[in-house]
Amino acid sequence: MSFTTIRDPLWNNIRLEPVATRLMDTGAMQRLRYVRQLGLAFLVYPGATHSRFEHALGTYHLSRRTLGLLQEHETVPADAAAIARMAALLHDVGHYPFSHALEEIGAPHHEDVARDLVMQGEVADILCAALGTDAPARVVALIQGRSKEPLQGLVAGSIDIDKIEYLKRDAHMCGVPYGEIDVDRLLHSLVIVEGEIGVLEKGLAAIESLLFAKYQMYRNVYWHHAVRSATAMYKRLVDDALHAGDLDFETLTRLTDETLLTVLPDTPLLRALRSRRLYKRAYECPAADFDGAEPEWIATDRPRVVEAENALAREVGLHPGELLIDFPAKTQMLDLNIAVRYKSGEVDRLTGRTSSINLPALSTQLYRSARWLRVFTARRATLPDMRRWLASF
């Protein structure tokens, strides 16, 4: 078999098998070269210009490495391993411009967008020719997290290789020391436990490193206040364009970061974002301070959020679009629903165990610590008591 070797700043040499090379050259995959992995984070961390394409290659690389280790002590059918590798390569093919932000305004999730891109066209033709007529459907099932195959957890799960890859790459490209994960130990600890991907007891320390790395990256990079300001501005821009009929979700799936900015209507908000005149914090409060009474509708009910933004803007003397409310949510951010095989031979889920460090309880605390509710404004404004205002809206 002839392999293509690609040099990568994080993993050094990445070797692609022939079918992966053909998939890499499809239009669907090549578009990812022009979709930034971290959206607008480059406005805060200038090095964060890496793309979804680089991340896809890195995830494929880790899939090959992990499957090689698994096959040393587990029975993994060759066809199932090949399908898992292709799913790892294609898992982000449905991403919108600037990555995850548009899913926060109600756009179909990128895993759902990936379905049509994998099930038809050149990607489907390549998969069918190399791996069988059922290959596209099997790949999509893994990407969407609904496959019954034991390797599902490698592609979409609590400790999938996607998370390992993006945490390491994002920290490296941002120039921050927060993505330190004991990757080698973790990959060597992965096993198939009762028909799913699990971990040996010796890998629990590596799981802890993954948990803390993810928390620190969310707190310091992904949910950094200036990153969230830029993201809130971008979401409002696209949301307004969608409601005005200037864009539709289907068109968005074909655009890149820069082409989207060229088709958006020229507004003061767009000009402010392009020139990095980011809205400033007028209010912020950590989720932990809400004592279980968080206004979750801010993360889930986009029409209500826009209505609230406009109402509050009028109340404090600002124009619609000059005040934005942000309360990011990621319910599976620190998910630890992992099967563990202990030295005794006993198998249990990590969520059911209590040790000197109660990881499930700690993960909940870390999530609420990283999550902040913020109000951003284009100009200085005096806000009312926000907790009372939001509770009454």
The whole-number pLDDT of residue 353 equals 56
151: closest CA among 29, 91, 66, 94? 66
Task: Give a yes or no: residue 76 inside a domain.
Answer: yes
For 42-82, the pLDDT digits (tens) are 999 999 999 999 999 999 999 999 999 999 888 899 999 99
Q: Which residues contact 341 (CB under 8 A, 6 or more apart)?
A: 191, 193, 198, 199, 200, 201, 347
The mean per-residue pLDDT over the stretch 287-294 comes to 83
In a domain, 306, yes or no: no
Q: Evaluate whether residue 191 is within a structural domain.
A: yes
Asked if the structure places residue 168 within a domain, the reply is yes
Q: Rounded to whole angstroms, how far apart are CA atoms 191 and 244?
A: 51
| Position 364 pLDDT exceeds 90 | no
CB atoms within 10 A of CB 329: 14
Across 86-110, average pLDDT: 93
Mean pLDDT of 227-245: 96
- pLDDT at residue number 362: 74
Q: Which domain holds residue 64?
A: 4-206
Joined together, the tokens standing for residue 250 give 């289907």
The pLDDT-based confidence of 262 (bands split at 50, 70, 90) is very high
Q: Classify residue 308: in a domain, yes or no.
A: no
What average pLDDT does range 155-183 have in this prediction? 91
pLDDT of residue 356: 47
- Is pLDDT at 162 greater than 90 in this prediction? yes
Given a contact cutoff of 8 angstroms between Cβ atoms, the answer to whether 91 and 114 are in contact is: yes
Report yes or no on 119 lying in a domain: yes
Tokens encoding 383:
């806000």
For the chain, the C-alpha Rg in angstroms (whole number) is 22
Q: What whole-number distance in Å separates Cα of residue 14 and Cα of residue 28?
A: 20
Task: Report the alpha-carbon distance of residue 172 to residue 180 in Å, rounded.
Answer: 10
Q: Is the per-residue pLDDT at 332 higher than 80?
A: no
Q: Is 138 helix (H, G, I), strand (E, B) or coil?
A: helix
What's the average model confidence in pLDDT over 278-305? Answer: 92
Burial of 385 (C-beta count, 10 Å sphere; 0-12/13-18/19+): exposed
pLDDT for 348 equals 85
Q: Per residue in 201-217, pLDDT tens?
A: 999 889 888 888 999 99
> For residue 70, what is the domain's CATH number?
1.10.3210.10
For strand 339-341 and strand 196-200, is the pairing parallel, antiparallel, or unpaired?
Answer: parallel
User: How does residue 298 score in pLDDT terms, banded at 50, 70 and 90?
Assistant: very high
- Residue 128 within a domain: yes
Average the pLDDT over 302-308 and give the result.
96
Structure tokens at 256: 């890149």
Domains held by the chain: number: 1
The answer to whether residue 224 sits within a structural domain is: no
Token pair 């320390």: residue: 205
State both tokens at 63.
Answer: 């899939």
Burial status of residue 301 (CB atoms within 10 A of its CB: 0-12, 13-18, 19 or more): middle
- With the CA atoms of 261, 266, 270 and 272 taken in that order, what torsion angle do they form, in degrees rounded to the nearest 10? 130
Mean pLDDT for 320-327 is 97
Phi/psi zone of residue 132: left (φ > 0), alpha (ψ -120 to 50 degrees), beta? Answer: left
